[in-house]
Amino acid sequence: MGKSWLKRQSLLGYAFIGPNMLGVLMFFIIPAIYSFYLMFTDYRFMNPEIHFVGFDNITRMLGDELFYVALRNTVVFLLSVPVSIMLAFLVAAALNKSVYWKKTLRALYFMPYITSGVAVAFVWMLLFQPTDGPINGFLRSLGISNPPGWLSTTDTSMLAIDIIWIWFMLGYNMIIYLAALQEIPEELLEAAKIDGAKPWQIIRRVIWPLVSPTTFLLLVTGLIMSIKTFGIIQAITQGGPGNSTTVLSLFIYQNAFRYYEMGYASAISWALFAIILAFTALQWIGQKRWVHY
């Protein structure tokens, strides 16, 4: 009777996860395998002829200057992740205390994360408008006669994208940190105060180590999400001006759906997968030194 009950429970479990696993198989695993095959072909969209070209796509990618431009832009874009995490920690620490309108402020900080990416893009395009935008208007009121061009120049466009992404991810990171901060026992904080620890020492020596698993989670997921992101960049700049905001994910999209070079786009996709895998592996190795469970 025990074995039959376990068998029924196992079948029930498989029935629950079956639809989800079927979706993963159809929309992730099979396309990934097919993309790996296309990487070694010259397949172009709507062209029935497919020829095996070996490592030509990989050789072309390694010799493509635009690939290295996109790789550099991706690295610059990833710098926004730790900045957003640090700001989110400070905001969460402030909102975890007794402050006025605490619940309202939490909702306001989180709202951008659930807002449509197109709406976010439109608002920031207006804010960063170089001549009549409110950001440059404010800078001019401070006496800066020649404020940055932001999204309109190659020098500052990637910085503007980083600012937008920091703002976009701040609310999500803050909510996760709030959950972690509320799990810290009050006895530890009271003991630190009794021992004479100052507020900044409590944050550095007590709170920060206790939320290090949360920081590790946000760092891993944030880097992966940022590497794959292209929707907001596509909506705001389409990779311009002059490829200054073309990241690897957008470079893949352009080659696949603008130039219809599916084989070449597949090669870049697997290069992106290797970069994500390397970043994740390095973080898993490094977390042994600074994450405290």
Distance from C-alpha of 78 to C-alpha of 210, rounded to nearest angstrom:
25
Count of C-beta atoms within a 10 Å radius of residue 14: 10
**pLDDT band for position 264 (cuts 50, 70, 90):** very high
Average pLDDT over residues 211-215: 92
- Is it the case that residue 184 has pLDDT exceeding 90? no
In a domain, 253, yes or no: yes
Tell me the whole-structure pTM to 2 decimals: 0.88
**pLDDT band for position 293 (cuts 50, 70, 90):** low
In a domain, 225, yes or no: yes
**What is the pLDDT, as a whole number, of residue 2?**
62
**pLDDT band for position 286 (cuts 50, 70, 90):** confident
Average pLDDT over residues 273-286: 88
**What is the pLDDT, as a whole number, of residue 12?**
84
Q: What rounded mean pLDDT belongs to the chain?
A: 89
CB 120 within 8 Å of CB 168: yes
- Is it the case that residue 1 has pLDDT exceeding 60? no
In a domain, 129, yes or no: yes
**What is the pLDDT, as a whole number, of residue 198?**
86
In a domain, 195, yes or no: yes
Phi, psi of 130 (to 5 degrees): -70, -30
In a domain, 45, yes or no: no
Distances, alpha carbon 189 to alpha carbons 8, 88, 97, 105, 208, in Å: 48, 20, 13, 24, 12
- The CATH number of whichever domain residue 261 belongs to comes to 1.10.3720.10
In a domain, 39, yes or no: no
Q: How many domains does the chain have?
A: 1
**What is the pLDDT, as a whole number, of residue 95?**
87
Average pLDDT over residues 189-200: 86
In a domain, 238, yes or no: yes
In a domain, 32, yes or no: no
Q: Which of 171-180, 193-202, 217-226, 232-241 has the lowest mean pLDDT?
A: 193-202
Question: Whole domain around residue 152: which residue ranges?
Answer: 58-290
CB 143 within 8 Å of CB 131: no
What b-and-e string marks burial along 74-111, b requiring 16 or more CB atoms within 10 Å of the CB?
A: bebbbebbeebbebbbebbbebbeeeeeeeeebeebbe
CB 57 within 8 Å of CB 264: yes
